Structure 1
Amino acid sequence: MAHGQRRKSLSPDEKYQRAVSARRKFRAIVKLIIANLNWLQELEDEKLSDNVKKNIQVLTRKKGKKSILTLQDKTLLNKPADLRTDEEKTHLRRILGNLKCFRKYPSQVKDELPSVLYFNFFGPNRTILKQGYEPLNLYIILTGAVLVSQTYYDKLLKEKRTKDVLVMGAGNTFGEVALLHDIERTATVTTIEASEFLYIRRDDFNRVLKDTVASQWAEVQTDMSRFSYFKNWSDGEIMEACILARKKQYHPNQIILSSTGGQQDCVYFVTKGMCYLMEYMTIKTTYKDGLPFYRLMEDPVEGDNRPATAVYKEIKKLSKREESHFGLAEIRASLRPAISTSRPSLRPSFVMPQVQVHFVKVCTFRKLACFNIGESLKNRVIVASVETECLLFPRNFLIEKAMLTFRTVENFLRRYIPTTEKIFKNFLQEKKWIQYKQGLVNQILSQKKAVTHNNIHNVPYTIRLQEDLGEI
């Protein structure tokens, strides 16, 4: 009754404002539901059951990229932090601590994450950050991809233009620059496809993550100072480079880059460890008068679209007798000449009869070397030899800032990294040498009157141990 009397006492303008406010709240709720409908409809158990409607939904639902978090995890991350129980925080700590993007953070920071992180979902073509706006959040990409673009004033055309800087995928972080330096957003970030994010608000960032992120930036600057390419860069250019830089670690025998994998739009700078360039060649062997003849197949039936898995398996089987000493500053010293292993694949891909894939180690990139500036990666992969760390920068950014420097490096790499034709020539020479050695051994063994004064006591002790020729 009191509520009805209060409504009657309202003026027409106040009633109108209340009605508008109610409609706006309703629309906001509907938009919120629509925005979260994608992950809210996820099914935790997709096994078929007796429920016909559920089975139809499971069989007909469009399959998207599998989320890292479960529906329960996302629900907890949408819950206000002050309402999360200790048990829920412990669960989130275990889940979040295992995510690759948080492994680099110290334990005390990981303990704080369950109390400051929230979940969000955006459909394709949604603007997450806008250049020139006040910073509010730091974002971590869980699934999907975003495009980073910048608007600048072109003095020649006397107008504003927008350029695409790079594409970022799962595991990458953005939005920390403006928060760290308390400046306006330096770029616009837009979703390319439906994407999931974790985000942390500005106050929580300043309290929990700011010191850690600042130390990581300082580490990137230190790494850049070791490379002579950046010694004449201004503080502003160094800061811009730190914004775009990404540091990645690779395990031994892990593929770093190929024609179909890795960050193909980035230049790699080796800050720790060592990696090598391998080429896989499809070679057809034919025999004439008992002698083998080899022909390089440039366009085999089974082409470049499916070598990654096979290459990875075979790389793990190749011997890794690399020098443990590295740290050479010059590129010439950080590239080794071609090593023609001429070793056929242990699990060859038979494209047709007598056709096999051979793997050859081409050269090695050591600490302070760089690659993927523009050299060809056709039928080639770059693989970590030991625990390796690389600093990645967008290629377009480096060419724009120091075109002459990196064009020179690109020409150097193209000149000194052997071509496929040269590698195949070395392959043929080694095959001929193997045939000559085998023929020489057979010739000596075939001699009827082979005279020798050697016996077990004339063989050096070390060789006797290695060959197990007997005891002294």
Structure 2
Amino acid sequence: MAARMMERARRKSMSPEERYQRAVSAKRKFRALVRLIIANLSWLQELEDEKLGENVKKNIQVLTRKKGKKSLLTLKDKTVLNKAAEERTEAEKNHLRRIIGNLKCFRRYPMEVKNELPGICYFNFFGPNRTIVRQNYESHNLYVILSGEVVVSQTYYDKLLKETVTKDVLLMGPGNYFGEVGLLHNIARTATVTTTEATEFLYITREDFIRVLKATVANQWAEVQLNMSWFNYFDSWSEIDIRESCILAKKKNFEPDQIILSATGGQLDCVYFLTKGTCYLIEHMTIKTSYKKGIPHYTLLKDGEEGEARPPLNIYKEIKKLHRKEESHSGLGASIRPAISTSRPTLNPSYITPSVRVHFIKVCYFHKLACFNVGESLKNRIIVSATESECLLLPRYFLLDKSMITFKAIGQFLTRYIPSTEQIFKYFLEDHRWTLYKEQLVDRILEVTAFTGNTIHNIPYTIRLSEDLGEI
């Protein structure tokens, strides 16, 4: 009580200037507190869900609360990662090993490297529009994105405009890492990285990177450089261009009959360079079949006609059936003929109503050292691995920026030599006409009333002997 009275007396004795300064200070503290709460809001959202109780209003708030993006790490995990490495227990390291070792960027690392990761990784959080690394500054850490997004930008002098230009070159999300270039080559940062939203990171210091990761990262870069040396498209590229390629490159492995690329799946913004195995291109066409006097007539349906021209849900079964029965021509060329459709209609005259089916037709093969998705159309087309395959992926914008003439020419070549949908439909009709002709010819020969003029005496003795022996 006495303290309150003294505080009131002190306020009354304040001059107007002192009162003004006190009010300004209180506002600044309140704003700082609000900013602190906003910056740590993602942490508060990760608290365990509150249990429902007897308070109905509170229960409704708990049930209707908007959930944010769930972090890969719990608060307990982040607390452990904020500890010094020597203070982490073996149980904590084992728990982190399972989490960190399964990150996309570390999956291909050797087991001995994965075992070291829990002792060298630390956690950090940055709000939106924060610069993490700045171009031309000294390199200190490697960063791994756990959640959120960053934009990579480069500043350079444009000789044409005669001014300094800053260009956004890449967006990176969870599972990607950056900062290894400066640490690997002991050079300044080659780009600026800025967060676009609240983002969580793991970071590894220069000393730990050199001790644990440098050899592995160097081997991965050497593998990418070796793969690029197989393609003569990169022969004239400088060392800096190759280094930038190693930063942006991805390697992916595919099992047999696995879909690599389609109009709605895969890395649509990347060019695929086939470094191992074989894959093939499938066209799926929506065809209406109608029968007149028992003879099928086919009509190619465009998008929007009697349903969407898209593959059905059992596409994997269709691909496997096509893979088992196909004997299509391999390679790319003007003489490519598609394989027989997996869904051949019956010639039974009783089917007189039109039917609409999706036909899968194998168009061509891509062998090792081929590339695709350079600019050719993938509408109603799927690229599937025929064997165990491996692809090197590079962003299309990057390739066009470095060698526009070369890769534009490749795209035009693929567009010219891969048959169009209309050409494939024409081959489809020719194939079915030939099939219909063969079946009708066989039917005529096997008719009861048909007379060929042959008797038992016209058949060679060796054939009759073989048939006789077969009946014994």
Is the structural similarity TM-score above 0.5? yes
Asked if the contact 1:250–1:387 (Cα under 8 Å) also holds between the matched residues in 2, the reply is yes
What is the Cα deviation at residue 224 of structure 1? 1.0
Q: 2:308 aligns to what?
A: 303
Q: 2:360 aligns to what?
A: 359
Q: 2:270 aligns to what?
A: 266
Q: Distance in 2 between matches of 1:267 and 1:117?
A: 33
Sort the Cα spacing of 1:135 and 1:25 in 2 relative to 1 into closer, same or farther, 3 A.
Answer: farther
The count of aligned residue pairs is 428
Q: Look up the equivalent residue of 1:442 and give its one-letter code.
A: D
Encode CA deviations 1:55-98: one digit per residue, 9 max, x unaligned.
53553233455544455444433444332210111112123223
Indicate the larger mover: 248-257 or 269-278.
248-257
Identify the match of residue 90 of structure 2 among 67, 86, 109: 86
Asked if the contact 1:340–1:426 (Cα under 8 Å) also holds between the matched residues in 2, the reply is no
Asked if the contact 2:282–2:363 (Cα under 8 Å) also holds between the matched residues in 1, the reply is yes
Q: Distance in 1 between matches of 2:83 and 2:95?
A: 14
SS of 1:319's equivalent? helix
Q: 2:15 aligns to what?
A: none
Are 2:404 and 1:372 aligned?
Answer: no
What is the Cα deviation at residue 262 of structure 1? 2.1
Q: 1:166 aligns to what?
A: 170
Q: 2:234 aligns to what?
A: 230
What is the Cα deviation at residue 151 of structure 1? 1.7
Sort the Cα spacing of 1:449 and 1:403 in 2 relative to 1 into closer, same or farther, 3 A.
Answer: closer
Q: 1:218 aligns to what?
A: 222
What is the Cα deviation at residue 379 of structure 1? 1.4
How big is the alpha-carbon RMSD for the aligned residues of Structure 1 and Structure 2? 3.7
Identify the match of residue 81 of structure 2 among 56, 77, 82: 77
Q: Look up the equivalent residue of 1:131 and give its one-letter code.
A: Q
Sort the Cα spacing of 1:233 and 1:458 in 2 relative to 1 into closer, same or farther, 3 A.
Answer: farther
Sort the Cα spacing of 1:123 and 1:423 in 2 relative to 1 into closer, same or farther, 3 A.
Answer: farther
Encode CA deviations 1:91-148: one digit per residue, 9 max, x unaligned.
1212322333222101110000111123344455444333223223222233444332
What is the Cα deviation at residue 376 of structure 1? 0.9
Identity across matched positions, percent: 64
SS of 1:166's equivalent? strand
Q: Distance in 1 between matches of 2:379 and 2:66?
A: 34
Are 2:160 and 1:156 aligned?
Answer: yes
- Within 5 A, what are the aligned runs for 1:39-438? 39-42=43-46, 55-57=59-61, 59-122=63-126, 124-300=128-304, 302-303=307-308, 307=311, 311-312=315-316, 314-320=318-324, 337-344=336-343, 354-438=355-439
What is the Cα deviation at residue 229 of structure 1? 0.9
Asked if the contact 1:340–1:361 (Cα under 8 Å) also holds between the matched residues in 2, the reply is yes
Asked if the contact 2:274–2:389 (Cα under 8 Å) also holds between the matched residues in 1, the reply is yes
Q: Distance in 2 between matches of 1:244 and 1:256?
A: 19
Q: Distance in 1 between matches of 2:443 and 2:336?
A: 32
Q: Which runs of 5+ in 1 are unaligned?
A: 1-22, 347-351, 461-469
Sort the Cα spacing of 1:290 and 1:186 in 2 relative to 1 into closer, same or farther, 3 A.
Answer: same
Sort the Cα spacing of 1:188 and 1:368 in 2 relative to 1 into closer, same or farther, 3 A.
Answer: same
Sort the Cα spacing of 1:295 and 1:332 in 2 relative to 1 into closer, same or farther, 3 A.
Answer: closer
Encode CA deviations 1:378-398: one digit per residue, 9 max, x unaligned.
111222222221112222222
Sort the Cα spacing of 1:440 and 1:400 in 2 relative to 1 into closer, same or farther, 3 A.
Answer: same
Q: Distance in 2 between matches of 1:337 and 1:170?
A: 42
Asked if the contact 1:345–1:359 (Cα under 8 Å) also holds between the matched residues in 2, the reply is no
Asked if the contact 2:290–2:354 (Cα under 8 Å) also holds between the matched residues in 1, the reply is no
Sort the Cα spacing of 1:47 and 1:313 in 2 relative to 1 into closer, same or farther, 3 A.
Answer: farther
SS of 1:341's equivalent? coil
Q: Distance in 1 between matches of 2:181 and 2:105?
A: 17
Sort the Cα spacing of 1:125 and 1:445 in 2 relative to 1 into closer, same or farther, 3 A.
Answer: farther
What is the Cα deviation at residue 194 of structure 1? 4.9
Q: Distance in 2 between matches of 1:49 and 1:275?
A: 58
SS of 2:341's equivalent? strand
Q: Distance in 1 between matches of 2:344 and 2:132?
A: 47
Q: Look up the equivalent residue of 1:403 and give its one-letter code.
A: M
What is the Cα deviation at residue 413 of structure 1? 0.8
Q: Distance in 2 between matches of 1:183 and 1:356?
A: 59
Indicate the larger mover: 243-252 or 104-113.
243-252
Max Rg structure: 2
SS of 1:285's equivalent? strand
Q: Distance in 2 between matches of 1:395 and 1:149?
A: 17
Sort the Cα spacing of 1:300 and 1:201 in 2 relative to 1 into closer, same or farther, 3 A.
Answer: same
What is the Cα deviation at residue 338 of structure 1? 4.2
Q: 1:12 aligns to what?
A: none
Q: Distance in 1 between matches of 2:79 and 2:326?
A: 50
Asked if the contact 1:36–1:121 (Cα under 8 Å) also holds between the matched residues in 2, the reply is no
Encode CA deviations 1:136-178: one digit per residue, 9 max, x unaligned.
3222233444332222111111111222323334332222111
Encode CA deviations 1:347-379: one digit per residue, 9 max, x unaligned.
xxxxx9722211121222111111111111111
Q: Distance in 2 between matches of 1:211 and 1:46?
A: 46
Asked if the contact 2:332–2:366 (Cα under 8 Å) also holds between the matched residues in 1, the reply is no
What is the Cα deviation at residue 223 of structure 1? 0.9
Asked if the contact 2:45–2:67 (Cα under 8 Å) also holds between the matched residues in 1, the reply is no
Asked if the contact 2:106–2:114 (Cα under 8 Å) also holds between the matched residues in 1, the reply is yes
Sort the Cα spacing of 1:354 and 1:308 in 2 relative to 1 into closer, same or farther, 3 A.
Answer: closer
SS of 1:284's equivalent? strand
What is the Cα deviation at residue 233 of structure 1? 1.8
Sort the Cα spacing of 1:309 and 1:112 in 2 relative to 1 into closer, same or farther, 3 A.
Answer: farther
What TM-score comes out, normalization by structure 1 length? 0.78
Asked if the contact 1:247–1:389 (Cα under 8 Å) also holds between the matched residues in 2, the reply is yes
Q: Look up the equivalent residue of 1:156 and give its one-letter code.
A: L
Q: Distance in 2 between matches of 1:47 and 1:344?
A: 55
Q: Distance in 1 between matches of 2:55 and 2:284?
A: 51
Q: Distance in 2 between matches of 1:173 and 1:137?
A: 11
Asked if the contact 1:246–1:393 (Cα under 8 Å) also holds between the matched residues in 2, the reply is yes
What is the Cα deviation at residue 50 of structure 1? 7.0
Q: Distance in 1 between matches of 2:141 and 2:303?
A: 50
What is the Cα deviation at residue 269 of structure 1? 0.8
Q: Distance in 2 between matches of 1:248 and 1:432?
A: 41
Q: Distance in 2 between matches of 1:145 and 1:26?
A: 29
